[in-house]
Amino acid sequence: MNKSDIKILLVDDEPDILEIVGYNLRNEGYQTFTAENGLEAIKSAKKNMPHLILLDIMMPEMDGIEACEKIRKIKSLENVLIAFLTARGEDYSQVAGFEAGADDYITKPIKPKVLISKIKSLLRRLKSEKDSEDSLKIGDIVIDRDEYVVYKAGKKISLPRKEFELFSLLTSRPGKVFKREVILDTVWGNEVVVGGRTIDVHIRKLREKIGDDHFKTVKGVGYKFVLLENEK
């Protein structure tokens, strides 16, 4: 996919941010669209079908968290990449964002070089998704890497991107304990500063969707995925 084909929706209530970030993105050759609040973002996303949405958290009308949750429920936008723009580095804010379905965080003040590097890193996932058409079967679970969906006993389970990547990692070696730092590095990458609770939040959501018994906590170390006796 050429840069000129990639569409990025930039959502922020600060005109300066829209102007500066928009300029840097266009300079790189990306198509850009802008919105000033969550409501406008949803309308623009439906109309323009972006590949990536850069979403501010604190906005009038509708904040970024609520907008992200609503966008994730729109069938045609379920695979769009979403990164939050935020000056709030607190753990609770990041956890709320990831729970809403965000893929990443970009902290303000935004440095153009860091921004472009982060965006390129995010957009590489689009490529890797396209290139990866394999599916993995474990017990009664089928992981379709091409569609980013999981089937359990024939029932389709849609997972947000980060939950899917975490699940793919754990199921790549059933029974193996993955250390927390390995999970953070593999799923979120070294450039993302996320709190320790982020992994716990994603594991909790996977337990709710896939089944509590499949995920074991190894205290002080990390997590592992296990097959149940009747699935071996």
For residue 170, the enclosing domain spans 133-231
The CATH code of the domain that includes 32 is 3.40.50.2300
Give the chain's domain count.
Answer: 2
| Token reading at 50 | 């972006």
Q: Which residues contact 177 (CB under 8 A, 6 or more apart)?
A: 218, 221, 222, 223, 224
C-beta separation of 76 from 49 below 8 A: yes
In this prediction, residue 131 has a pLDDT band, given cuts at 50, 70 and 90, of: very low
Decide: 102 and 82 in contact? Cβ < 8 Å: yes
Residue 137, classified by CB atoms within 10 Å of its CB into exposed (0-12), middle (13-18) or buried (19+), is exposed
Q: How far, in Å, CA of 144 to CA of 47, rounded?
A: 28
More confident residue, 209 or 144: 209
223 compared with 139, residue with greater pLDDT: 223
Residues 62 and 140 in one domain: no
Express each pLDDT in 31-60 by its tens digit.
999 999 999 999 999 999 999 999 998 898
End-to-end CA distance of the chain, in Å? Answer: 41
The pLDDT of residue 53 is 96
What's the whole-model pTM score?
0.59
Residues 72, 173 share a domain: no
Return the percentage of the chain with pLDDT > 70, whole number.
Answer: 88
What confidence score (pLDDT) does residue 205 get?
95
The pLDDT, as a whole number, for residue 190 is 59
Mean pLDDT over 64-88 rounds to 87
Do 120 and 89 belong together in one domain?
yes
Tally of CA atoms within 13 A in the half-sphere of 187 that contains its CB? 26
pLDDT of residue 198: 87
Q: Is the pLDDT of residue 106 over 80?
A: yes
Residue 191 has pLDDT above 70, yes or no: no
Which value, to the nearest 10 degrees, does the dihedral of the CA atoms of residues 21, 27, 31, 34 take? 20
Q: Residue range 145-158: average pLDDT? A: 86
Residue 121 sits in the same domain as residue 7: yes
Residues 126 and 106 reside in one and the same domain: yes
**Measuring CA to CA, which residue among 133, 159, 157 is closest to residue 146?**
133
Question: 118 and 178 in one domain?
Answer: no
Identify the pLDDT of residue 132: 46
Q: What percent of the chain has pLDDT over 90?
A: 44
Same domain, 120 and 165: no
Q: Are residues 25 and 118 in the same domain?
A: yes
For residue 230, the model assigns a pLDDT of 60
175 or 19, which is more confident:
19
Residues 78 and 95 in one domain: yes
User: Which among 97, 73, 66 is positioned nearest to 83, based on CA atoms?
Assistant: 97
Q: Mark residue 56 as left, alpha or beta (left: phi above 0; alpha: psi -120 to 50; beta: remaining).
A: beta
